[in-house]
Amino acid sequence: MGTESVRESAIRAISEAVAEAGLEVECPREGSFLVTIPGTAKLKTMVWLEAGPHSLTLTSFFCRQPDENHAAFYQWLTRRNSDTYGMAFASDEVGDVYLRGRLPLGGVTPEEVDRLLGCVLTYSDENFNTALELGFASAIRKEWKWRTDRGHDTRNLRAFAHLAETGDDR
């Protein structure tokens, strides 16, 4: 099979997997997909899938660079990489964190795309709150205090109530 037919097959597989999952998707150009996956801890995870001439790349923004506790934050993410499938946490030149993956086009099937999207969701959702605690504990405490002092809703901060109550910087 020539390179173009492998790419076309991969594009069909991505389209099929996204449609089967019922996910929101934008296709700005042939072979490019911006998929939105709903989550729990991280309410929306955006995944960019790009079918290039030889491989499929996946890129998903995880969180911005931490405000504090940089060494522990990045060390924790690096340790997470040993348990990931098909992708890894990576930072850009300013320290923002992404999930990145690459798969040869010949391995792109609807089942594999579904698996990789599921991995992105799992890694984003299951690690998001801990990452925020490690890199943004002071900001979370300040936001909690600001909201409670003014009687504002703290519902979306409930996962971090222990930080406000203890003042602990984990």
CB 62 within 8 A of CB 91: no
pLDDT per position as a tens digit, 131-158: 999 999 999 999 888 998 998 887 888 8
In contact, 2 and 120? CB cutoff 8 Å: no
Would you state the structure tokens that stand for residue 159, as one six-digit string? 């996962």
Q: Round to whole Å and give the CA distance between 74 and 130.
A: 12
pLDDT digits (tens, 9 = 90+) for 65-110: 999 999 999 999 999 999 999 999 999 999 999 999 999 999 999 9
Q: Which CATH class is domain 3-138?
A: alpha beta
Rg (CA), the chain: 19
Q: Which of 19, 37, 44, 27 is nearest to 128 (CA)?
A: 44
Q: How far apart are the first and last CA of the chain?
A: 53
pLDDT in tens, 12-38: 999 999 999 999 999 999 999 999 999
Predicted model pTM:
0.88
Helices (H), the chain: 3-21, 70-80, 110-149, 161-166
